[in-house]
Amino acid sequence: MDVCIVGGGIAGLTLAYWLSEKGDNVTVLEKSSSLRTEGYMIDFFGPGYEVAEKMGLMNELRNIHYPIDSLVFMKNDGEKKYDIPYPKLRKLMDDKHFNFMRGDLESVLYKQVKNRVNVKFDSSPVSIDQDDDHVYVTLTDESTLTSDLLVGADGMRSSVRSLAFNETFNNSIRYIGYYTAAYIIDDPAVLSKTGRSFYTYSEPGAQVSVYPIRGNKVATFFLYTYPEQQGHVTQERAFHQLHEQFGHMNWIVPDLLKASVDADDFYFDEVSQVELPEWRNGRITFVGDSCQCVSLLAGQGASMAMAGAYTLAKSLENQTDLSTALAHYEQSLHSDIEALQRSARKFANYFLPDSWWRIYVRDVLTRASVLPGIRKFVNFKTVRLPQ
Ligand SMILES: Cc1cc2nc3c(=O)[nH]c(=O)nc-3n(C[C@H](O)[C@H](O)[C@H](O)COP(=O)(O)OP(=O)(O)OC[C@H]3O[C@@H](n4cnc5c(N)ncnc54)[C@H](O)[C@@H]3O)c2cc1C
């Protein structure tokens, strides 16, 4: 089967791997000119971890993993409030857990597929048509690609959704009230103020984290509530907003904000989910954030993207015809993803509390979560992979 995947992120590359494993002829269209390195450190566990095991990636993932000592919650004056040793947190995930930078996972996946699928960088669809037998994609260079199946793996703001589903922009995006920023600082003075842990300071509606990464650099992660969805935000406006939201804080925060102007890999985005009522239209379907974005509040975006890709590939392998396979894929995941999205929205006030009282409750629960015997009561909502 000829398959065109739009988007070479975590979902698109994982799908490319599994389809090429089963002998499909795969083309991946990626609009960036190369792999993108932006993003923050992700917790990687759950079904994506299982998919990575099936792909034989454990050694590669161990190499990109950061052996963070602990999760340290800070006070505004730079004193430690409390800490949770990471090994105890990993126990909650039965030790099947990694922390690594989002971009590093993408690089590992790209290495798996680059010699067996055609990854076309600087390439996007400008129009998509289909008939009973094929899908026809016109690309930015005006060439046409004909395939048996087209998969939109192009993230939260999927252009495949608008081109193939005539969707008006943002129709399926549910803004859940937060903005996030992440960037890398290459400044020894800032590094000298951190240790080997992941440090977080929270105030009602605003949270900042900082942690060391390879190359003697420091990575940051900001999250704050914002009343409305802002559309496109320029980098200048984003800096301004970070100063507005975090400028009054102490600890290391003034250094982080000062360094933002010279920062590498500046990432800034709204925190939203994607709720797509139908995941398929004839020979077109979706995978990853384009149809199932759960948002960073669920803490499993990359894991879910890999789980979705694997589930789609297995449905295509095991079902007799395309239409049945796409229906089977959607039925296997759609309602579990909706449940996960609901649970992420409920969890939002734990992730970023909106009052000092809720911060207190969050702290008590976080400390309790690693007490002996608690593991059997902790149940992460997730999805099940096909056998
Ligand atoms: C640069 C970047 C940084 C991120 N940082 C964070 C972060 O810090 N925190 C967080 O929670 N999530 C972040 N995410 C989202 C996170 O990666 C996803 O939630 C998760 O990994 C699911 O991945 P995905 O492959 O479905 O979507 P994405 O990771 O969004 O990947 C989609 C891919 O499609 C490409 N693409 C988009 N439109 C087109 C088009 N028209 N034609 C061709 N290609 C297209 C994009 O360039 C991208 O490579 C980031 C995503 C990106 C792309």
Q: What are the structure tokens assigned to 123, written together?
A: 């390439």
- Pocket of ligand 1 contains residue 153 by CB under 6 Å: yes
Evaluate whether 41 touches 302 at the Cβ level (below 8 Å).
no
The per-residue DSSP string of 262-302 comes to G-EEEEEEEEEEE--S-SEETTEEE-THHHH---GGGT-HH
Query: Partners of 144 in the beta sheet?
Result: 138
pLDDT tens digits, one per residue of 204-245: 999 999 999 888 899 999 999 999 999 899 999 999 999 999
Q: What is the CATH number of the domain that holds 60?
A: 3.50.50.60
* Residue 264 pLDDT grade (very low, low, confident, very high; cuts 50, 70, 90): confident
pLDDT(169) > 70: no
pLDDT of residue 39: 75
Q: Which domain holds residue 304?
A: 2-66+98-171+274-349
By percentage, how much of the chain surpasses pLDDT 70?
Answer: 97
On whether residue 257 sits in a domain, the answer given is: no
- Pocket of ligand 1 contains residue 13 by CB under 6 Å: no
pLDDT(86) > 90: no
Distance 154 CA to ligand 1 centre (A): 7
Higher model confidence: residue 374 or residue 142?
142
- Pocket of ligand 1 contains residue 31 by CB under 6 Å: yes
On whether residue 28 sits in a domain, the answer given is: yes
The residue to mutate among 127, 183, 235, 267, having the most atoms of ligand 1 within 8 angstroms of its beta carbon, is: 267
Q: Which residue CA neighbors atom 5 of ligand 1 most closely?
A: 39
pLDDT(115) > 80: yes
In 3D, which of 321, 331, 41, 349 has the Cα closest to residue 197?
41
The three-state secondary structure class of 73 is strand
In 3D, which of 271, 17, 266, 59 has the Cα closest to residue 153?
17
Q: Which residue CA neighbors atom 50 of ligand 1 most closely?
A: 39
pLDDT(191) > 90: no
User: What integer best gives the mean pLDDT of the chain?
Assistant: 92
Q: How far is CA 198 from CA 39, 207, 293, 379, in A?
A: 16, 13, 25, 24
pLDDT tens digits, one per residue of 289-308: 999 999 988 888 999 999 99
On whether residue 205 sits in a domain, the answer given is: no
At which residue do the structure tokens 């009052």 appear?
Answer: 355
Helical residues (DSSP H) of the chain, grouped into ranges: 10-21, 47-54, 58-64, 86-92, 102-113, 159-165, 188-191, 235-246, 253-259, 289-292, 301-318, 322-351, 356-368
On whether residue 314 sits in a domain, the answer given is: yes
On whether residue 261 sits in a domain, the answer given is: no
Is residue 127 within a helix (H) or strand (E), and if so which, with residue range?
strand 125-130
- Pocket of ligand 1 contains residue 124 by CB under 6 Å: yes
On whether residue 386 sits in a domain, the answer given is: no
- Pocket of ligand 1 contains residue 334 by CB under 6 Å: no
pLDDT(130) > 60: yes
pLDDT tens digits, one per residue of 42-56: 889 999 999 999 999
pLDDT tens digits, one per residue of 327-371: 999 999 999 999 999 999 998 888 899 999 999 999 998 888 777
The residue to mutate among 4, 10, 268, having the most atoms of ligand 1 within 8 angstroms of its beta carbon, is: 10
- Pocket of ligand 1 contains residue 353 by CB under 6 Å: no
Q: How far is CA 110 from CA 40, 93, 197, 222, in A?
A: 19, 26, 29, 28
pLDDT of residue 299: 80
Q: Which residue CA neighbors atom 31 of ligand 1 most closely?
A: 9
On whether residue 239 sits in a domain, the answer given is: no
Determine if the pTM surpasses 0.85.
yes
pLDDT of residue 140: 93
Q: What are the structure tokens assigned to 228, written together?
A: 């409305």
Q: Which residue CA neighbors atom 6 of ligand 1 most closely?
A: 39
pLDDT of residue 188: 86
pLDDT of residue 275: 94
Evaluate whether 146 touches 136 at the Cβ level (below 8 Å).
yes
Q: What are the structure tokens assigned to 234, written together?
A: 């320029």
On whether residue 233 sits in a domain, the answer given is: no
Q: Give the nearest ligand 1 atom to 289 CA.
A: 26
Residue type, 219: A
pLDDT of residue 79: 94
pLDDT(265) > 60: yes
Compute the average pLDDT of residues 185-214: 91
CA angle centred on 24, ends 21 and 26, rounded to 5°: 100
The three-state secondary structure class of 78 is coil
Number of separate domains in the chain: 1
pLDDT tens digits, one per residue of 311-330: 999 999 998 899 999 999 99
pLDDT tens digits, one per residue of 87-98: 888 877 788 899
- Pocket of ligand 1 contains residue 9 by CB under 6 Å: yes
Q: Which residue CA neighbors atom 51 of ligand 1 most closely?
A: 39
pLDDT of residue 375: 56
pLDDT of residue 261: 82
Higher model confidence: residue 36 or residue 258?
258
pLDDT of residue 88: 82
Q: How far is CA 376 from CA 65, 84, 93, 94, in A?
A: 26, 19, 11, 11
- Pocket of ligand 1 contains residue 154 by CB under 6 Å: yes
